[in-house]
Structure 1
Amino acid sequence: MARPRNKTNARYTRDAERLVALSLALNGSGSRVEDRYWEREIETLLGKLLHAGQDGAVEAALDALLETDAGGYEILVEQAETLSESTFMEKDGESYDVLLVVAPVVAWTRFTIPSGRIRQESLDALSAHLHGHILAADVRLALASELYSVDQMPRSFSATLQWLTRLGARALELPVPRSTLASSDVPNLLADTRYVVGAVAVPRGKPVFRWQEGVGAAGPAAATTGRDECLDAWVAQATPIFADLLPGCGFECLLPDAYYVNNREADRRVRPLSMQAAVSWIETALNMPPAQLRAVIAGCGETDIEEYRVGFTARNRNDVIYGATWPVFGRDDDTEESPTIEQIASILKELGVDDIRRLPGLMPLEFCEDCGAPYFPNPLGEMVHAEPPEEADTSPTHFH
Structure 2
Amino acid sequence: MSMSQLNSKLLAQQPKEIQRLLNYTDALVRSGSQIEDRYWQGLTAKLLDKLYSGRRNTAVEQTLELLGSQQQSQHYEILMELAESHAECQQIEHEGVLYDALLFSAPLTAWTRYQLPQGELKPQQHKELEESLRATVLAEGTMCALLPNLVNYDEMPQTYQQAYAWTRSLTAQALGRSQDPAPVNKPEEASSLLADARFLIGVVMAPVGQALFRWQQSSDNLQAEHLRCVEQWVARYSAIVTPLFTGCQLQFLAPNAYYMNNRESDREIRPLALKAGITWLQTAVKLSPDQLRAVIVACGEEQIEEYRVGFSTISSPTVIYGCIWPVLSQEEAESSFHSDDHVDIPDVIAALLSTLGLVQIQRLPGLHSTETCDDCNAPFFPDINGEMQHPELPDEIDLDPVQLH
Query: Normalising by the residue count of structure 1, what TM-score does the alignment of the two structures yield?
Result: 0.90
| Partner-residue secondary structure (3-state), 1:359 | strand
Query: Deviations along 1:160-209, whole A, 9 cap, x unmatched?
Result: 11111111111121235675654224421111111111111111111111
Map 1:214-233 to 2 at 5 A.
214=218, 217=219, 223=222, 225-233=224-232
Match of 2:248 in 1: 249
Amino acid at match of 1:340: I
Amino acid at match of 2:115: T
Partners of 2:205 and 2:389 in 1: CA distance: 49
Q: Structure 2 vs 1, CA of residues 241 and 189 (structure 1 numbering), >3 Å: closer, same or farther?
A: same
Say yes or no: does 1:52 pair with 2:54. Answer: yes
Q: CA RMSD in A?
A: 2.2
Query: Deviations along 1:290-344, whole A, 9 cap, x unmatched?
Result: 1211111111222322211111111222111111111112232263352111111
| Partner-residue secondary structure (3-state), 1:280 | helix
Amino acid at match of 2:24: L
Q: Is contact 2:322–2:391 with CA below 8 Å preserved after alignment?
A: yes
Map 1:148-227 to 2 at 5 A.
148-176=151-179, 182-185=185-188, 186-214=190-218, 217=219, 223=222, 225-227=224-226
Match of 1:118 in 2: 121
Partners of 2:185 and 2:389 in 1: CA distance: 32
Amino acid at match of 2:155: Q
Partners of 1:132 and 1:34 in 2: CA distance: 41
Partners of 1:222 and 1:294 in 2: CA distance: 49
Structure 1 residue runs of 4+, over 4 Å off?
176-182, 221-225
Amino acid at match of 2:326: P
What is the deviation of 1:374?
0.9
What is the deviation of 1:136?
1.2
Match of 1:96 in 2: 99
Seq. identity, %: 39
Q: Is contact 2:77–2:330 with CA below 8 Å preserved after alignment?
A: no
Match of 2:7 in 1: none
Match of 1:4 in 2: none
Q: Structure 2 vs 1, CA of residues 387 and 33 (structure 1 numbering), >3 Å: closer, same or farther?
A: same
Amino acid at match of 1:197: I
Q: Is contact 1:141–1:199 with CA below 8 Å preserved after alignment?
A: yes
Partners of 1:249 and 1:49 in 2: CA distance: 41
The answer to which of 201-210 and 388-397 deviates more is: 388-397
Say yes or no: does 1:278 pair with 2:280. Answer: no
What is the deviation of 1:58?
2.4
Query: Deviations along 1:113-166, whole A, 9 cap, x unmatched?
Result: 111531111111211221122111111111111211101101111111111111
| Partner-residue secondary structure (3-state), 2:372 | coil
Query: Normalising by the residue count of structure 2, what TM-score does the alignment of the two structures yield?
Result: 0.89
Say yes or no: does 1:15 pair with 2:26. Answer: no
Partners of 1:79 and 1:299 in 2: CA distance: 28
Say yes or no: does 1:370 pair with 2:370. Answer: no
Partners of 2:213 and 2:182 in 1: CA distance: 28
Map 1:78-89 to 2 at 5 A.
78-89=81-92
Q: Is contact 2:73–2:330 with CA below 8 Å preserved after alignment?
A: no
Partners of 2:288 and 2:393 in 1: CA distance: 15
What is the deviation of 1:55?
3.1
Q: Structure 2 vs 1, CA of residues 283 and 179 (structure 1 numbering), >3 Å: closer, same or farther?
A: closer
Partners of 2:221 and 2:362 in 1: CA distance: 54
The answer to which of 44-53 and 170-179 deviates more is: 170-179
Match of 1:109 in 2: 112
Q: Is contact 1:16–1:61 with CA below 8 Å preserved after alignment?
A: yes
Q: Is contact 1:88–1:97 with CA below 8 Å preserved after alignment?
A: yes
Partners of 2:56 and 2:376 in 1: CA distance: 31
Partners of 2:371 and 2:224 in 1: CA distance: 48
Partners of 1:356 and 1:178 in 2: CA distance: 47
* Structure 1 residues not aligned, in runs of 5+: 1-8
What is the deviation of 1:44?
1.1
Q: Structure 2 vs 1, CA of residues 258 and 179 (structure 1 numbering), >3 Å: closer, same or farther?
A: closer
The answer to which of 252-261 and 303-312 deviates more is: 303-312
Match of 1:145 in 2: 148
Match of 1:6 in 2: none
Q: Is contact 2:298–2:306 with CA below 8 Å preserved after alignment?
A: yes
What is the deviation of 1:373?
0.9
Match of 1:258 in 2: 257
* Structure 2 residues not aligned, in runs of 5+: 1-10
Partners of 1:381 and 1:48 in 2: CA distance: 44
2:351 to 346, 355, 360: 346
Amino acid at match of 1:113: L
Partners of 2:384 and 2:198 in 1: CA distance: 33
Paired residue total = 383
| Partner-residue secondary structure (3-state), 1:362 | strand
Partners of 1:86 and 1:108 in 2: CA distance: 31
| Partner-residue secondary structure (3-state), 2:282 | helix
Match of 2:6 in 1: none
Partners of 1:177 and 1:79 in 2: CA distance: 28
Amino acid at match of 1:121: Q
Map 1:69-84 to 2 at 5 A.
69-84=72-87
Partners of 2:50 and 2:385 in 1: CA distance: 51
Say yes or no: does 1:65 pair with 2:64. Answer: no
Partners of 2:298 and 2:135 in 1: CA distance: 44
Q: Is contact 1:65–1:73 with CA below 8 Å preserved after alignment?
A: yes
Say yes or no: does 1:37 pair with 2:39. Answer: yes
Match of 1:235 in 2: 234
Q: Is contact 1:112–1:396 with CA below 8 Å preserved after alignment?
A: no
Partners of 2:19 and 2:285 in 1: CA distance: 54
Partners of 2:215 and 2:370 in 1: CA distance: 42
